[in-house]
C-alpha cells in the first residue's frame, strides 16, 4: 500500500474504533462526570477520524461515511487494543492512558510530517489530545495511589493491557518508506518516547511497571487480523446505515 494511505488508515481506524468504544460509557460511568468526560473524548476521536478519512478521500479513497460504515473487520487497520470491549472502568481508564500517551506523542511528531496536509491536521489535534492525556494522568495518579482495592484493580488492568498497548507500534511493510520520506518518525522511535512518558506518570503511583519491552506484543491489527470483538462492533455501527445505503440520514 502507498505509505501515506497505510499510515492514514491506521491512524483513522484507531481513532474511530476507540471513539466508538468510549461512547459506550454513556449512562455507565462510575460518576456522572466520567460519563461526560468519556463522551467528550469520544466526540473528539470521532472528529479526528473524520479529518483523517477526509485526507484519505482527498487522496482518492472513498468518502468517509462509506469507508467507516461499510468495511468489514479484515479491512480495518486498527490495533487490537482499541477494539476490546469497555470492560470495567479500570480497564477503560488504563487503555485510555496507554493509548492517548502514544497518540499525543504521535501527533506531536506528525506536526512535522513532510506531508503538509497531515502536518496541519496534527497541529490541530495535538492540542485536543493534550487534554485527553491530562485526564488520563489525573485518574491514573488518583486511583493508582488510593485504596488497596483500587490499586489492585489498576495493577491487574495494567498487566493485562500492556501487551495490547505494544500492538499500537506494530510496523507494516511501508515502515521504511514512511520514515525515509519524512512522513513520520516511525513506530520504534514513538514507542521509546511513549515508554518514557507513561513511566513518568506511573512512577508517581503505587503500581508496579513490568519490563515492558520484554512483553510479547499483541500484533496483527495493522494487517487486518482482529479479535472476535471487532466485527460485532462494526455490525452494530452500520446497522442503520445499511438499512438503506442510498438514503441521506
Partner 1 sequence: MYGSASTHDLPTSAATGLENEDPILLAEFEARIGRGEKIEPGDWMPALYRKQLTRMIEQHAHSEIIGSLPEGTWITRAPGFRRKMAQMAKVQDEVGHAQLLYSAAETLGKTREQMLIDLINGKSKYSNVFNYPTPTWADSNVISWLIDAGAIVNQLANAKGSYGPYCRALDRICAEEAFHLKYGHDAVVHMATGTPIQRKMMQEALNRWWPAIMTFFGPSDKMSVHTEILMRWKVKMASNDECRNQFLDMYVPKIWEIGLTLPDANLRKNEETGVWEFTEPDWEDFKRVINGDGPCNAERIAVRRAAEENGAWVRRALLTPKTQYVRPLA
Contact positions toward partner 1, by CB under 8 A?
Answer: 20, 23-24, 26-36, 39-40, 42-43, 46-47, 50, 64-65, 68-69, 88-89, 142-143, 146-147, 149-150, 153, 233, 236-237, 239-241, 243-244, 246-249
- The least distance separating partner 1 from the CB of residue 15, rounded to whole angstroms, comes to 12
- The least distance separating partner 1 from the CB of residue 88, rounded to whole angstroms, comes to 6
Q: How far is residue 50 from each of residues 25, 67, 197, 217, measured CA to CA in Å?
A: 21, 10, 27, 28
> Considering beta carbons, is residue 59 or 240 the nearer one to partner 1?
240
- The least distance separating partner 1 from the CB of residue 92, rounded to whole angstroms, comes to 11
> Considering beta carbons, is residue 86 or 209 the nearer one to partner 1?
86
> Considering beta carbons, is residue 53 or 184 the nearer one to partner 1?
53
- Closest among 125, 115, 155 to 12, alpha carbons compared: 125
Q: Output helix, strand, coil percentages for the chain, rounded to the nearest 5.
A: 70, 0, 30
Report, in angstroms and rounded to the nearest whole number, the Rg of the chain calculated over CA atoms. 18
- The least distance separating partner 1 from the CB of residue 28, rounded to whole angstroms, comes to 5
> Considering beta carbons, is residue 43 or 181 the nearer one to partner 1?
43
> Considering beta carbons, is residue 35 or 159 the nearer one to partner 1?
35
> Considering beta carbons, is residue 147 or 203 the nearer one to partner 1?
147
- The least distance separating partner 1 from the CB of residue 166, rounded to whole angstroms, comes to 27
> Considering beta carbons, is residue 24 or 177 the nearer one to partner 1?
24
Yes or no: say if 123 and 106 are a contact pair by the CB < 8 Å rule. Answer: no
Yes or no: say if 235 and 228 are a contact pair by the CB < 8 Å rule. Answer: no
- The least distance separating partner 1 from the CB of residue 59, rounded to whole angstroms, comes to 18
Measured on CA atoms in the order 126, 127, 132, 136, is the torsion positive or negative? Answer: positive
Which distant-in-sequence residues (6+ apart) come within 8 Å of 118 by Cβ? 4, 7, 8, 55, 110, 183
Yes or no: say if 215 and 155 are a contact pair by the CB < 8 Å rule. Answer: no
CA 160 to chain centroid: 17
User: Which residue is associated with the grid cell 511513549?
Assistant: 194
Yes or no: say if 25 and 85 are a contact pair by the CB < 8 Å rule. Answer: no
Q: How many CB atoms lie within 10 A of CB 25?
A: 20
- The least distance separating partner 1 from the CB of residue 214, rounded to whole angstroms, comes to 30
Amino acid at each position: 500500500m502507498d505509505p501515506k494511505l497505510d499510515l492514514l488508515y491506521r491512524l483513522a481506524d484507531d481513532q474511530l474504533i476507540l471513539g466508538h468504544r468510549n461512547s459506550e460509557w454513556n449512562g455507565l460511568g462510575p460518576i456522572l462526570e466520567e460519563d461526560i468526560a468519556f463522551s467528550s473524548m469520544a466526540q473528539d476521536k470521532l472528529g479526528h477520524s473524520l479529518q483523517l478519512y477526509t485526507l484519505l478521500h482527498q487522496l482518492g479513497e472513498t468518502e468517509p461515511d462509506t469507508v467507516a460504515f461499510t468495511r468489514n473487520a479484515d479491512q480495518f487497520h486498527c490495533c487490537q487494543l482499541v477494539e476490546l470491549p469497555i470492560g470495567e472502568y479500570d480497564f477503560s481508564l488504563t487503555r485510555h492512558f496507554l493509548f492517548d500517551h502514544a497518540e499525543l506523542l504521535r501527533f506531536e511528531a506528525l506536526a512535522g510530517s513532510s506531508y503538509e496536509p497531515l502536518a496541519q491536521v496534527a497541529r490541530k489535534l495535538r492540542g485536543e489530545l493534550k487534554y485527553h492525556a491530562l485526564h488520563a494522568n489525573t485518574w491514573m495518579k488518583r486511583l493508582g495511589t488510593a485504596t488497596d482495592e483500587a490499586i489492585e484493580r489498576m495493577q491487574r488492568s495494567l498487566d493485562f493491557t500492556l501487551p495490547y498497548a505494544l500492538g499500537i507500534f506494530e510496523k507494516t511493510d511501508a515502515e521504511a518508506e514512511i520514515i525515509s520520506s519524512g512522513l513520520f518518525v516511525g513506530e520504534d522511535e514513538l514507542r521509546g518516547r511513549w515508554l518514557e512518558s507513561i513511566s513518568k506518570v506511573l512512577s508517581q503511583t503505587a503500581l508496579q511497571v513490568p519490563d515492558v519491552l520484554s512483553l510479547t506484543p499483541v500484533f496483527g491489527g495493522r494487517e487486518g487480523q482482529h479479535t472476535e470483538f471487532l466485527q460485532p462492533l462494526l455490525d452494530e455501527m452500520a446497522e442503520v446505515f445499511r438499512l438503506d445505503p442510498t438514503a441521506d440520514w
